[in-house]
Amino acid sequence: MSAEIITTEDLRKFKNEILQEFKKLLEEHQGQPPKKWLKSYEVRKLLGISQGKLQNMRARGTLPFTRIGAVIFYDYEDIRKMMEKNQEKKDAIFDYA
The full set of domains in the chain, from first to last, is 37-85 (1.10.10)
What's the pLDDT at 92? 53
CA distance linking residue 77 with residue 10, whole number of Å: 42
Close Cβ partners of 10 (under 8 Å, ≥ 6 residues apart):
none
pTM of model > 0.75: no
Chain mean pLDDT for the chain: 85
For 57-79, what is each residue's pLDDT tens digit?
999 999 999 999 999 999 999 99
Q: Is the dihedral of CA 60, 61, 67, 73 positive or negative?
A: negative
Side-chain half-sphere of 75: how many Cα atoms within 13 Å? 9
Coil, strand or helix at 82 = helix
